[in-house]
Amino acid sequence: MAGIAHGLSVPDLAGARFLIVEARYHAAINDMLIEGTRAMLERGGCRYETLTLPGALEIPPAIALHRGNSRYAGFVALGCVIRGETTHYDLVANESCRGIMELGLRDRLAIGNGILTVENRAQAEERADAARMDKGGHAALAAMMLAAVRRNLQQKRAD
């Protein structure tokens, strides 16, 4: 995987379950993101389920609906927002990111944000491709690292 961990080791979260929440608006791009995400989760010994939604704005509410479900160690948000001719791009890019960040901070959820916000399809393909920038794998790694931090803090509190 092309420099995926940037020197970080992948945490061993054998058996931990993650929910991949994906926006299918750009299905071919998402297929590439999911490939990298699944590979990274499997590399850490994790299990996963996938929830498919129409667009990126639906991702934060969907994660919020699942936040009380203790079966998930974390979440991976995947999607692609490509700039168009209107300001809709700014709204979707900003609000989906804000919603994910708010959930992570307020509800202490382990969320990896793999929603691409790009100028064009070529940029999206470069970032989504698991053999190139592998942003799906990066998002999975982020969720896994945050889940491991939470697990370690819980273990220290129990000691």
- HSE-up of 31 (CA within 13 Å, CB side)? 2
> Is 88 marked active-site?
yes
**Cβ count within 10 A of residue 152:** 11
Is 149 within a domain?
Answer: yes
- Reported as a single tens digit per residue, the pLDDT across 83-140 is 988 888 999 999 999 999 999 999 999 999 999 999 999 999 999 999 999 999 999 9
- The CATH code of the domain that includes 34 is 3.40.50.960
What tokens appear for 15 in the block? 């058996």
- Is 42 within a domain? yes
C-alpha to C-alpha distance for 118 and 16, rounded to whole angstroms: 31
The predicted model scores a pTM of: 0.92
Q: Which domain holds residue 118?
A: 17-158
Q: Is residue 4 a part of any domain in this protein?
A: no
Catalytic annotation, pick one of 6, 26, 88, 138: 88
pLDDT score for 87: 87
User: Cβ(43)–Cβ(5) under 8 Å?
Assistant: no
CB 93 within 8 A of CB 155: no
Residue 40 has pLDDT above 50, yes or no: yes
Confirm whether 10 is domain-assigned: no
